[in-house]
Each structure stands twice: as structure tokens, then as C-alpha cells.
Amino acid sequence: MAKTLFDKVWDAHTVAEVEGGMSVVYIDQHLIHEVTSPQAFDGLRARSIPVFRPERTLATADHNVPTKDQHLPIKEELSRFQVQKLKDNCDEFGVTLYGLGHPKQGIVHVIGPELGITKPGMTIVCGDSHTSTHGAFGSIAFGIGTSQVEQVLATQCLILQKPKQMRITIEGELSPGVLSKDIVLFIISKLTAAGGTGFFIEYAGSAIRSLSMEARMTICNMSIEMGARGGLIAPDQTTFDYVEGREQAPQGDDWTKSLEHWKTLYTDEGASFDEEHRWDASEIEPMVTYGTNPGMGMGVTESIPEGGGSASFEKALSYMGLSEGRTLENHPVQYVFIGSCTNSRIEDLRLVADFVKGKKIASNISAMVVPGSQQVSKQAQEEGLDKILSAAGFDFREAGCSACLGMNEDKIPAGAYCVSTSNRNFEGRQGPGARTILASPLMAAATAIEGKIVDVRKYM
Amino acid sequence: MDKLNQLTSSCVPLPIEDVDTDQIIPARFLKATTRLGFGENLFRDWRYEKDGSPKKDFVLNNPTYTGSILVAGKNFGCGSSREHAAWAIKDYGFRVVVSSFFADIFKGNAMNNGILPITVTQEFLNDIFLAIESDPHCQLSVSLQEQMLEITSTGKRTSFQIDPYKKMCLLNGYDDIDYLLSVQDKIEAFESTRA
């Protein structure tokens, strides 16, 4: 029978069926961070059980960490305690930790791929909804709650209902200035913030296949923003080239054997999906969001739609200080944030540095670039990107989740507009009262230079 | 985990759509390392002014509305995977959340903490909101065993879906981890076939 990519990976990890239709699914790789793991370790202690397969869990500290002076103790007491707790738990249970100060520390969804931990055909979970990022390698990867973190620590398995499957096909060529972030913001604006709920999404089509791994990760990363637990892309030569030679990639005979297997990971001709969508890449323009969920997005030349008097829509616009029927072009902005697990990889930093080289950010703008990991930061410095960015007026920070989620020191003040390359424009996400406009790294860079939202295509 | 079967209670209406977990519990309150005390900060930024004084127009600050059932607009619990959202709802005193649509991760987290998420049609959800509007003390009656939800004042009833395994867990107070630990031999056998 014809199988989808998802079916193939799912079937290879099914341990047993549970009465009533759920399955026990084996998890190849578990990633943990300081925020959603302490209560799970407490659960193990309460049951007096060990971590079942400690070699399959990797920990890092990312959500709470400051992005300045990381060599100093964390100033905020609760953050410092939570990061310390992670270290204590990892020591006690024998879990490898790339903690603050470690050369491999970084945002959990950035370090997995860059270390070669994320590979095709795996099952990967983490107590973080953006775990969907790792689906870019043709893996089943999704976010879980803390009770499930405990289950994976205790048994390396989860009890899951097999999700419905959706395929989204994007064919054709992207216009200059349009990035993978625009593709995914476009898709979410069409399907809404709930349109993918209950589904796993396979992204396909020539426009997707032409993307780099970094760009594919950006798309899979935001699958959760339409409610889908995860998204995946069939591995191809681009994937294999990215993985080959990385620290934890298979070597020698193992590599040959793995490659042989990975080449079977695609959706068979004739396999069926519960839902299919198809768009042409040429329809997509640089995107911006105008509301308080990622589904409230539009092309930069479009106008905010009429909400039909819905209370939730009006609440969102009132929070954003925007009104129906207007565009966001030329809208003044005070902050620009380039970072997060969506857009903080070396390719993102290169794009931004290339764009701002020789330019200066506008005087009304405070702009920050936060690399996704120590390794990204190191590479950026080796390539001189930090100098270019600093010369243009950007604050080049140390690695972490930073202003994506208002949990560490990096926050956007109440009422201020921030064009952000992150993934969520929820009320208060970047700090109480902060107004987030999601966009691509190029759109964010152009906003920083002009001090207002512009269509980056005019520079192309 | 706490058992749940029958519950009859007045309810708290929150007719807002796409309520995300950053509203349920903002990230800055995720620094605790236990499961307790999150109820205090449930809907923090909708519930309190910056100075900590209650916002009068928010439903949790209106003494008219009480009870252990929260009734919310569609796509409740979207966004982050933080189980703290479920802990906050439970800690505040809710045992049942009714909506026309739940985000996946929240739904799973809720059930893993003894909270029953009940999905009803948009029409039935509107009926509940109307019933609360005409009588703020109107009660909902839930039977998990029967998979039935009733608006007691109008007698309108609806059945609801729940996975049989998750139903058994809620009725008996079982955690997934109990089940998984009981099949550890199968897990080890699975591992040995892949080596």
C-alpha cells in the first residue's frame, strides 16, 4: 500500500497498540530545556525511577538565559535557580547538558540540527511547541507537555493518537526578496491559526525543494502556528549534504547504510492525505502580521481585512493600535528583533548582514541580532558578520531565546511596535503590552534601516 | 492524577477566540519548578493592571461568575506546549473546559492533569453563552461516563467525544506513565529489534 513519509516514520516507531486506537510510539531523541523539565524530574524522583535511556536525552539552557554577559551569574534569581536546577537534574540522572557557558549551548531547535543530532526518519520530541522545526529533515518532531517529558524520560515512549495528514504543495519560484518565512506566514494566513489542528503537515513542491535546510527549518518551525503538531519535508540531497560530516552524523559504513535508508523516506505515488492545499510561489509577497495570532497576516502591500465585527478580531486590532482597511507600509516601528528558533541561524544572519552592510539603522530604531547558538555566534564572528551588524547599529548579542518570549531580560516595552523574526505575535509575548509584527529577516532588516515598515522588494 | 466523572457546576464564560497559552499563563511566570501556585497568575495580563490591581471588566474579577467549569471561544489553548497553562487552570479550580475547538497540545496536557476538555459544536457553545447571559448562575452538568453535557436550566444536552483510553485514565485517575511502565518489556523488545 502506498504510504506517506509520515506513515513510514510512524510505522517504524510503533511499539504497541493501546486498546481504543492509540499507539505506544518510540522516541529516538529527546531534547530538554530548563523551563519544562524540572517537574518531570521531580516525577521520576517521586517514583524512584531512573531516566530509562539517558543517552537519548540532551539538555540545554535557552529560554531564561541573558544574551549579555553570559559569563556572569544570571541576575534574575528565579531564572538563575531554574538554570541551576537543570544542571542539578542532569547531574543526578546522567543526562548530557550543554548549559550556559558551554561552547555548544544554544536554542534547543538550533543546536539539534547543527550538531547532527537531528537526522532523517527519526522521532524527536521536546517540551517546546517549536520542536516541529526538526521535521525539516524528514523526521516526526513535535512539542510535548511536561507530563510527557516525564514519560519519555521514564520509558522513551509516548502514547499517541495517530494524527490526520495534510499536504501543502508550493510550486514555482519565489520572487526576489521573498523568503521561506514569507511562505509559512502566507500559508498560516490562508489556513488560520487553527487550520492545521489535528494534522501533521508534509510540505512539498518545487518551491520547497529549492530551499536550504535553514529555510526549510523556518517553515517546519511555524507548523504549530496553524495548530499542526508538526510539519515535515522529505529528505533529499540538500538534507544529506547538510547532515554529512556534522559532529553526531553517522560516519563511514554507518553513513552509507543510513543514506540508503534515508533515500526511502518520501511519500509514495498515490498515497492519500486527509487534506491537500496547493499554491504557486509567485502569489507570495513579503508578509507582515497585523493582529495577535500568526494567522492574522497579510502581504506587505495588502490592507487589514474587515473583521466582520467579531469581538476577538476587534480586541486584537485594539491591542495592536491598528484599524481595518489600512496597510502597514510606512507604519513607524521602534524595535527590530532578529533571532529565535525561527530565524537565528547562520543563513539568516548572513542575509541580514549582507542587506545592512554599509547602511545605518534609523535613529528611532533599537535593533538586536541574537544568534541561535554559540556555534552560530562563533561562525558569524569568523565571517565578520558581527562587525558589519554592529557598524550598522545593531546590538549583536549572545545566544538564547531572547526577546521571542519575554521570559529573560530582553523585552519590548508596552505600546512599542517590534518587527520580529520570531514566531508568535500573541498579546504580551515579547513583554506586557508589546506589539509584535512578525516578518522575515529581510523585512526586519529593511524596517531597521528605514525606521518604518517597507516592502523590501524595492531594494531587490 | 485526580479522578473525574460527574460534575455539576455554574460556569465562567470567556467568549474569546484563539485564547493562547501566553494569555493563560505568561512566560514570565514559568520560572517555578513545581506544579503548584500557577492559579494566582491565570490570565494574569487580562486579569490585573500593571500595578497588580484587578481589572474590573475581566470575568474572573466578577463575583457573579464562579464555578469549576470554564466555557471559552474556539481554538482554546493554542500556542506553546507549556503544561503550566493546564496547571494554572487546575490550580485556579477549574476541572472542565468547554469550547468548540481545542488546540492539540493543550488538550493533551489538560487530560494529563485530570482536567476534562469538552468539545461541543459552535451552536451548542452559543447556547451555553446565551444561557449564562440570561442566568449568570446557570449550571452545566457533566457526565464523563455517559459522555454527556447538559445545560441544566434549559435541559439542552449534547454528547461529546473522548478517546476510550483517555476516558478510562480520567475515570480512574491513571497517568499514561503507569501504562507505559507496565509495557516496559515490550519497549525493550522493540529496541532489540532495531539494534
Mind listing the pLDDT tens digit for each residue in A243-291?
Answer: 999 999 999 999 999 999 999 999 999 999 999 999 999 999 999 999 9
What pLDDT, on the 0 to 100 scale, is given for residue A209?
98
Interface test with B, best of A14, A25, A39, A74 (most B CBs within 10 A): A39
Q: For the purposes of burial, counting CB atoms within 10 Å of the CB of B93, is it exposed (0-12), middle (13-18) or buried (19 or more)?
A: middle
- From the CA of A382, how many Å to the nearest CA of chain B? 34
Tell if the CB–CB gap between A49 and B31 is shorter than 8 Å. no
Beta bridge partners of A23: A17, A160
Tell if the CB–CB gap between A229 and B105 is shorter than 8 Å. yes
Interface test with A, best of B105, B122, B184 (most A CBs within 10 A): B105
Q: What is the mean pLDDT of residues A20-34?
A: 96
The answer, for A121 touching chain B at a CB cutoff of 8 Å, is no
Tell if the CB–CB gap between B184 and A155 is shorter than 8 Å. yes
What pLDDT, on the 0 to 100 scale, is given for residue A205?
98
- CB count within 10 Å of CB B26 equals 25
- CB count within 10 Å of CB A258 equals 18
Phi, psi of B126 (to 5 degrees): -60, -40
What pLDDT, on the 0 to 100 scale, is given for residue A252?
96
Global pTM exceeds 0.95: yes
Q: What nine digits make up the cell of A51? A: 531516566
Q: What is the DSSP string of A131-166?
A: GGGGGGGS-EEEE--HHHHHHHHHHSEEEEPPPEEE
What pLDDT, on the 0 to 100 scale, is given for residue A189?
98
Mean pLDDT of chain B: 96
CB contacts, 8 Å: B79 with chain A:
129, 224, 424, 426
Q: Where are the alpha helices (DSSP H) in chain B?
A: 21-24, 44-47, 84-92, 104-111, 122-134, 164-172, 176-182, 184-194
Over residues B8-33, the pLDDT tens digits come to: 999 999 999 999 999 999 999 999 99
The span from the CA of A359 to the CA of A327, in Å, is 26
The answer, for A88 touching chain B at a CB cutoff of 8 Å, is no
What pLDDT, on the 0 to 100 scale, is given for residue A309?
77
Q: Where are the alpha helices (DSSP H) in A213-345?
A: 213-221, 237-243, 252-262, 311-320
Contacts of A240 (CB under 8 A, 6+ apart): A259, A262
Q: What is the mean pLDDT of residues A14-43?
A: 96
Q: What is the mean pLDDT of residues A96-119?
A: 97
**Residues A102, A86: contact at Cβ < 8 Å?**
no
- Rounded to 10 degrees, the C-alpha dihedral A47/A48/A53/A59 comes to 80
The span from the CA of B80 to the CA of B67, in Å, is 26
Over residues A329-338, the pLDDT tens digits come to: 999 999 999 9
The span from the CA of A139 to the CA of A419, in Å, is 31
Strand segments (E) across B36-100: 69-72, 96-99
Beta bridge partners of A368: A337, A395
The span from the CA of A420 to the CA of A437, in Å, is 6
User: What's the gap between Cα A92 and its chain centre?
Assistant: 30
H/E stretch holding A435 reads strand A435-438
The answer, for A259 touching chain B at a CB cutoff of 8 Å, is no
CA distances from A251 to A29, A122, B190, B192 (A): 19, 17, 25, 22
| Among A152, A153, A157, residue whose Cα is nearest residue A24 | A157
Mean pLDDT of chain A: 97
What pLDDT, on the 0 to 100 scale, is given for residue A20?
83
- CB count within 10 Å of CB A364 equals 12
The span from the CA of B73 to the CA of B98, in Å, is 9
Q: Where are the alpha helices (DSSP H) in A192-310?
A: 206-209, 213-221, 237-243, 252-262
Over residues A358-373, the pLDDT tens digits come to: 999 999 999 999 999 9
Give percent of chain A above pLDDT 70.
100
Q: What nine digits make up the cell of A25? A: 510510539
Over residues A188-228, the pLDDT tens digits come to: 999 999 999 999 999 999 999 999 999 999 999 999 999 99
Nearest to B83 among A145, A312, A315 (CB): A145
Pairing relationship of beta strands A140-143 and A157-160 according to DSSP bridges? unpaired
What pLDDT, on the 0 to 100 scale, is given for residue A185?
98
- From the CA of B137, how many Å to the nearest CA of chain A? 23
The answer, for B20 touching chain A at a CB cutoff of 8 Å, is yes
Least confident segment among A302-311, A369-378, B53-62: A302-311
Over residues A137-153, the pLDDT tens digits come to: 999 999 999 999 999 99
Tell if the CB–CB gap between B101 and A194 is shorter than 8 Å. yes
Q: What nine digits make up the cell of A417? A: 511596535
What pLDDT, on the 0 to 100 scale, is given for residue A410?
95
What pLDDT, on the 0 to 100 scale, is given for residue B1?
85
Q: What nine digits make up the cell of A320? A: 495592536
Q: What is the mean pLDDT of residues A1-11?
A: 97
Contacts of A103 (CB under 8 A, 6+ apart): A374, A375, A378
Answer yes or no: same fold for A5-161 and A164-283.
no
H/E stretch holding A381 reads helix A374-382
User: In the CATH hierarchy, which fold is given to the domain comprising A287-459?
Assistant: Aconitase; domain 3 (3.30.499)
Q: What nine digits make up the cell of A149? A: 517529558
ipTM rounded to 2 decimals: 0.96
Over residues A288-314, the pLDDT tens digits come to: 999 999 999 999 999 999 977 788 999
Strand order in the sheet with B6-14: B116-119, B96-99, B69-72, B6-14, B139-143, B148-151, B156-159
Residue A378 has pLDDT above 80, yes or no: yes
**Residues A303, A197: contact at Cβ < 8 Å?**
no
Contacts of A37 (CB under 8 A, 6+ apart): A59, A86, A89, A127, A146, A149
Pairing relationship of beta strands B148-151 and B139-143 according to DSSP bridges? antiparallel
Interface of A with B in 192-211 (CB under 8 A): 193-194, 197-198
CA distances from B164 to A13, A16, A18, B153, B168 (A): 22, 16, 10, 29, 6
Q: What is the DSSP string of B164-181?
A: HHHHHHHHHT--HHHHHH
Query: Is the Cα torsion angle B163, B165, B166, B167 positive or negative in sign?
Result: positive
Q: For the purposes of burial, counting CB atoms within 10 Å of the CB of A68, is it exposed (0-12), middle (13-18) or buried (19 or more)?
A: exposed
Of chain A, the end-to-end C-alpha distance in Å amounts to 47
Question: What are the boundaries of each domain within chain A?
Answer: 5-161, 164-283, 287-459
The answer, for B50 touching chain A at a CB cutoff of 8 Å, is yes
Residue range A5-161 in CATH 3.30.499.10: yes
What pLDDT, on the 0 to 100 scale, is given for residue B98?
98
Residue B195 has pLDDT above 90, yes or no: no
Q: Which residue has the cell 517549536?
A: A130
Residue range A164-283 in CATH 3.40.1060.10: yes
Tell if the CB–CB gap between A227 and B108 is shorter than 8 Å. no
